[in-house]
Amino acid sequence: MAREFSRTDRVGQQIHKEVASILQHEFKHREPMVGMITVSGVEVSRDLAHAKVFITFYESEEEKVKHDLEKLQDAKGFVRGILGKRVRMRKVPDLHFFRDGSILEGARISELVNKAVASDKAKQDPNDNKDNT
């Protein structure tokens, strides 16, 4: 019987859970000025040597997001050290943090669709809605 999930998927899920917890608790105490962030996904390489950690930033200022991402990059050794204590692996993957803009992009597209629908309703002829009885 085939496995439902590959090993890289299972390791990725575990790393996702643990890194999210580390960023929420330990990292926030170390870097209190970092804004609100969420781990939105983790991709682990096939050899389990590298993990791409995708982070969503809930900030509107581009400068602040860049600053927070730099702080994360600087603290990846700290995060990896705690991760190594929490997961049972021979070698903990190297962590690489990337900005995930998909949530903000989705909200922007949703707003554009809502504006287009509202614009279409405004252009509609009000006589079209009358019943012909």
- Per-residue pLDDT tens over the stretch 48-81: 999 999 998 887 788 888 988 999 999 899 999 9
> Given this model, what pLDDT does residue 1 score?
44
Q: Which pTM value belongs to this model? A: 0.74
> Given this model, what pLDDT does residue 34 score?
82
Residue 48: left if φ>0, alpha if ψ -120 to 50, beta else—which one? left
**List of domains in the chain:** 7-123 (3.30.300.20)
Query: Strands, E, within 9-89: which ranges?
Result: 37-44, 50-57
How does strand 50-57 pair with strand 37-44?
A: antiparallel
Is residue 133 over pLDDT 60? no
- Per-residue pLDDT tens over the stretch 65-122: 898 899 999 989 999 999 999 988 889 999 999 998 787 788 889 989 999 998 888 8
DSSP string, 42-58: EEE-TTSSEEEEEEEE-
Please give the single-letter amino acid code of residue 126.
P
- Per-residue pLDDT tens over the stretch 23-57: 988 888 788 788 888 899 999 999 999 999 999 88
